[in-house]
Structure 1
Amino acid sequence: MAPVDYEIMLFFDEHAIQVSPRVLAANIDYDRQYVSKRCRVLSEADLLESVQTGLYQLTDTGHDYLEGELDVRELEDDED
């Protein structure tokens, strides 16, 4: 997990909307390309989901992680 990952997921948790990485980056003050890359990584980990081309939202797994009900190491173990 990169430091920005928590900020990305927290944004989606606080704003139940679907947004593009560009809009997200403008709201959390990070580079658009970096946020786009991290959204893809979070999507691959099932923490975000791509609901339309270029739009993301937080998954139930992402909510569980933010609520402390899921350890990120559990996700890493699933990838093996």
Structure 2
Amino acid sequence: MRKRADWMVKADEVILEVLEGGLMLGPTAIAKNGDLSRQHVTNRVSILMAYGFVERVEEGYYQITDRGRAWLEGEIDASELDPTGDRYE
């Protein structure tokens, strides 16, 4: 069972599930595959980066981290995490 935090929204789960395939994707591709708006994905990816669930691999491309995968598998309680400070890299 996935343990969400107050800062999380449904789109976060969708974004992580799209990235779970192991590809490096940009916000447009994530949005298209997750049926979300590109701007919403861009905003949420910044927050997911701050909590260590997603990392930027190069300008405009992101991938899921081990922490993101662990959350999807129900191994991490997101409400116990603090931002890592990587939000505005």
Q: Given the two structures, how large is their TM-score scaled by the length of structure 1? A: 0.90
Q: For the aligned residues, what is the CA RMSD?
A: 0.9
5+ residue gaps, structure 2, are 1-7, 84-89
* Larger fraction in helix: 1
Say which structure, 1 or 2, has more relative contact order (CA 8 Å, 6+ apart): 2
Q: Is residue 2:86 matched to residue 1:74?
A: no
Q: Is residue 2:10 matched to residue 1:3?
A: yes
Number of aligned residue pairs: 76
Q: Deviations over 1:1-35 (max 9, x none)?
A: 0110001001111x110000111101111110011
1:22 maps to amino acid: T
| Displacement after TM superposition at 1:63 (Å) | 0.8
5+ residue gaps, structure 1, are none
| Displacement after TM superposition at 1:54 (Å) | 0.9
SS in 2 for 1:51: strand
Stretches (4+) displaced over 3 A? none
